[in-house]
Amino acid sequence: MRLRWILPFLLGLAACDDDEAAVSAERAPDTVRIASYNIHLARGEAGKLVTELRDGSAQIEAVLRVIAAADPDILLINELDYDDERQSLALLQQRLAEAGVEYGYSFVAPVNTGKPTGLDLTGDGKDYGPENAQGWGVFEGQFGMAILSRLPIASDDVRTFAGVRWAEMPDNLLPVDFYPEPAVEVLRLSSKSHWDVPVRVGGTTLHLLASHPTPPVFDGDEDRNGRRNNDEIRFWVDYIEGKDWMLSDQGTEGGLADDAAFVVLGDLNNDPEKGDGRREAITALLGHERVQDTKPEGAEGVATSDFEEAGRLRVDYVLPSAGLEVANSGVFAPGEGDPMRETAAFASDHRLVWVDLILSSLGKN
């Protein structure tokens, strides 16, 4: 299906150069731009993305152009395959620098996709394979995520929650009647991971709360993926409320302090108004008293994805904490006639979402 985009994309590359400033989202002075972007670069075998990043491809060039046009100061990337040597992230940073977008700081960590459970979770007679992994993946690290930043990351204070078991969440929706009994002691909550990555900005610490919950589809009447998506999102509701049930991979307990500044961001795979996902957790997050939802818009309104079967849905988010002042926000979804419209569509089935925070408001926290 992507072949139909290649010719107009390649023909449009030269034409885009003169109009790059016109498609870049307007930026107010004294702000920091924070963005989330599912770049759709997950590949079907380990190491393939590293090779493609080295050799280059039309899709990668399109992704680079979108990021360069939006020009975020802090960027969460979803669907960048993870490798133990961190080659994919290093190569992406290199390619971005060559495109004029430099990030001096980054964070990446292992995710649960493709990680074996040793159990037959789905009754297919196997205790291996993507369906029986901690998170769906044909190899460990597929559909990984990473953070790029121009502002210092407090690496020693990062917390990750890949190891939290689903059954540890109070009032969880784990379908115990569907999974084999040992799954309760083995299956993790995060299909990828949940990260709290502190960044030093505006005289304070800003917590980047990043995740990429499983799509709430590709299951049966047991709704195992819909339930998990709901609970992966609800993790952040509990976390910003300072609940104490979660234990980080670093050995620290509990959620955020009451006065912490934060941004929840990522491809949450859930639209609060349509689609197949459960609504409870996403509604609770968007309406939480500690969260502000600016409802960023592009040419297709608040939609951030364009799936072949499901259509346009709002599934990608950048949600600042209530005490922060927002100067502007948007979805990088150019309209008809914009020279970047074809590029954005070719790059990914998701659109980059961004929010500009006023630096002086960060200094008050």
Q: What domains are there in the chain, each with its CATH number?
A: 3-363 (3.60.10.10)
Position 321 scores a pLDDT of 98
Q: Which of 261, 282, 244, 245 is nearest to 168 (CA)?
A: 245
Q: The tokens of 276 are what?
A: 């197949």
The answer to whether the pTM exceeds 0.95 is no
Q: Which residues pair with 207 in a beta bridge?
A: 198, 262
Position 364 scores a pLDDT of 59
Position 11 scores a pLDDT of 34
Distance (Å, rounded) from C-alpha 9 to C-alpha 342? 6
Tens place of pLDDT for every residue, the chain, 365 residues? 333 334 334 434 433 443 443 345 678 889 999 999 999 999 999 999 999 999 999 999 999 999 999 999 999 999 999 999 999 999 999 999 999 999 999 999 999 999 999 999 999 999 999 999 999 999 999 999 999 999 999 999 999 999 999 999 999 999 999 999 999 999 999 999 999 999 999 789 999 999 999 999 999 999 999 999 999 999 999 999 999 999 999 999 999 999 999 999 999 999 999 989 999 999 999 999 999 999 999 999 999 998 877 789 999 999 999 999 999 999 999 999 999 999 999 999 999 999 999 998 887 55
Position 158 scores a pLDDT of 98
DSSP letters along 49-64, please? HHHHHHH--HHHHHHH
Kind of pairing, strands 74-78 and 31-38? parallel
Q: Using an 8 Å Cβ cutoff, are 205 and 159 in contact?
A: no
Position 260 scores a pLDDT of 97
Q: The tokens of 250 are what?
A: 């670093």
